Amino acid sequence: MKGNKAAKLSLFAITWPIFIEIMLHMLMGNADTLMLSQYSDHSVAAVGLTNQLLSIVIVMFGFVATGASVVIAQAIGAKHERTAAEVAVVAILANLLFGLLLSAALLLFGDVFLKWMNTPSELMAEASSYLMIVGGFSFIQSVIMTIGAAIRSYGFTKDAMYVTIGMNIINVFGNYLFIFAAFGFPVLGVEGVAISTSVSRFLGLVVILYLLFKRSSIPLPFASSFKLFPLHIKSVLKIGLPSAGEHLSYSGSQMLITFFITLLGTTALTTKVYTFNIMMFIFLFAVAIGQGTQILIGHLIGAKSYDAAYKMCLKSQTYAMIISFLMAGVASLFAKPLLSIFTDNPEIIKEGTILLYLTLLLEPGRSFNLVIISSLRAAGDVKFPVIMGVISMWGVSVPLAYLLGITFDLGLIGIWLAFTADEWLRGLFMLARWRKRKWQKQFIVPQEATA
C-alpha cells in the first residue's frame, strides 16, 4: 500500500469514513426492511429471522478479516510493509475458500437451519428463498470483508466507504424494481430483495478488488499465496479465532434469545426487528470508534508506543459512551415517529417505544465492549474477552432473558433488561482488564517474512 497513512491520521479522520461505511451497511438492511414493510409485515419478519442466521455466517467470515487487520496494522507500525502485503493476500485466499464452504452449507442445509430456529410456518417459504440466494452467494461478502479490512488497516478508510455507497445505491434501486414492479419488472418481494442484495455485493467486489491493486505500492504476491499460506495463517488465526469465538458466542446467544422471542409470537418478532433496525443507528457510533481505535492502536503497538495506546483507548471509550447516550436520548424522544416509518401497527409501536427508552441504559454499556474489546484485540489480548463473553452471555443474558421475558411474562421488555445487564457486566470487566495493562505482554510484532 502507498505509505503508512493511518499513522498520520487522527482518530476522527480515520473513524468518520468507517462510521459512514457502517451506517450505509446498516442502511442497506434498513432499506430492505423499510421497502418490504410496504409489501408485507410477514416478509419483514422472514428476512429479519433469516438475517439472524446470516449474521453468524458474517461473524465467521470476520475472524479471518479481523485477524488480518490486526496483524497488518502491527506490521505497518513495525515498518514491515512486505509482511503486511503477504498477510493481506493470504487472508483473502483463506476467506474465499471458507466462504465457498459456508455458502455450500447454506444451500444444502438452509431449511434445516431455519427449522432449528423455530421459524413460523407462515414465514418458512420466504425465509428459505432469501437464505438460498443471499446465503448461496455469501462467499462474495467474505472476500469484500477481507479486502476492506486490509485497506482500512493502511488508513484508506474512504475507499471502503465509497464502495459501500455504490452497493447501497444499487441495492435500493434493485429493491425498487422488484418490490414496486418498476419499468415492467415482476413483483418478486423477498426473492427480489435477495437478488438485489447479491448483485450489489458482486459489483462491490469488482470495485474493491480494483482499489486494492490501485492502492498497492508493492506487487501483491497473489501468485505465491498458497506458498505463503502456512507462513502467515497462524498469526492471523491467533488473533482471529478467539475474536470469532467472542462474536460467535454473542450471535449464538442472540439466536437462542430470538427463539425465545418466537415463543411470544410473530408480532413480538417483528417488533424486535424494527426496534433493532433503529438501535443499530445508535450503536454504530461506538462501532466506528472501536474500529478506528483498533487500527490506530495496532499501529502504536507495532511501534511499541504503549502509553499512547493506553491513553487512546480510554479517550475513545469516553467519546463512545457520551455519543451513545446522546443518540439513545434522541431515539427515545422520537421513538413513535421512527417506528411509524416501518409500521402502523399500534401494538408494535407501543412496545417498540418502550424498548427504545431502555436503550438509554443499554447503549452506554455496549460501548464499553465495542471500544475496549477492539483495543484489547489490537494489542493481541484476545482470550480474556472470549472467556468473559461466554460467561456473561450464557450465564447472564440467556437465562435472564428467559426468566424475565418468558417466566415472569415481561416479554421483550424483560429481554431488553437482560441485554443491558450483560453489556454492563462485560464492559466493566473489559475496562478493568485494560487498566491492568496485561495486554502489553501479549502481542507479537510481526517479523519480515523470509519466503
- The domains of the chain are located at 5-441
237: number of Cβ within 10 Å: 18
pLDDT band, residue 51 (cuts 50/70/90) = confident
Q: Is the pLDDT of residue 451 over 70?
A: no
Nearest to 9 by CA among 145, 146, 156, 161: 156
Nearest to 79 by CA among 152, 154, 187: 154
Rounded Cα gap, residues 121 and 114, in angstroms: 10
Backbone angles phi, psi at 450, to 5 degrees: -105, -10
C-alpha torsion angle, residues 197, 55, 322, 374 (rounded to 10): -110
* Torsional sign, CA 71, 389, 358, 274: positive
Half-sphere exposure in the Cβ direction for 340 (13 Å, CA): 5
Please answer whether residues 336 and 275 qualify as being in contact, where contact means their C-beta atoms are separated by less than 8 angstroms. Answer: no
- Residue 313 is given by DSSP the state H
Please answer whether residues 193 and 36 qualify as being in contact, where contact means their C-beta atoms are separated by less than 8 angstroms. Answer: yes
Query: Distances in Å between the alpha carbon of 113 and those of 135, 189, 286?
Result: 12, 22, 31
Please answer whether residues 23 and 284 qualify as being in contact, where contact means their C-beta atoms are separated by less than 8 angstroms. Answer: yes
Per the listing, cell 445508535 goes with 282
Nearest to 48 by CA among 177, 161, 134: 134
Q: Is the pLDDT of residue 3 over 50?
A: no
pLDDT digits (tens, 9 = 90+) for 79-131: 888 888 899 999 999 999 999 999 999 999 988 988 887 888 888 888 898 89
**Could you tell me the three cell numbers for 444?**
507479537
Question: 166-180, 289-303, 325-339: which range is least confident on average?
Answer: 166-180
Q: Cβ-count burial of 432 within 10 angstroms (0-12 exposed, 13-18 middle, 19+ buried)?
A: exposed
Residue 264: per-residue pLDDT: 93
pLDDT band, residue 7 (cuts 50/70/90) = very low
pTM over 0.85? The answer is no
Residue 4: per-residue pLDDT: 47
Residue 402: per-residue pLDDT: 97
Half-sphere exposure in the Cβ direction for 262 (13 Å, CA): 22
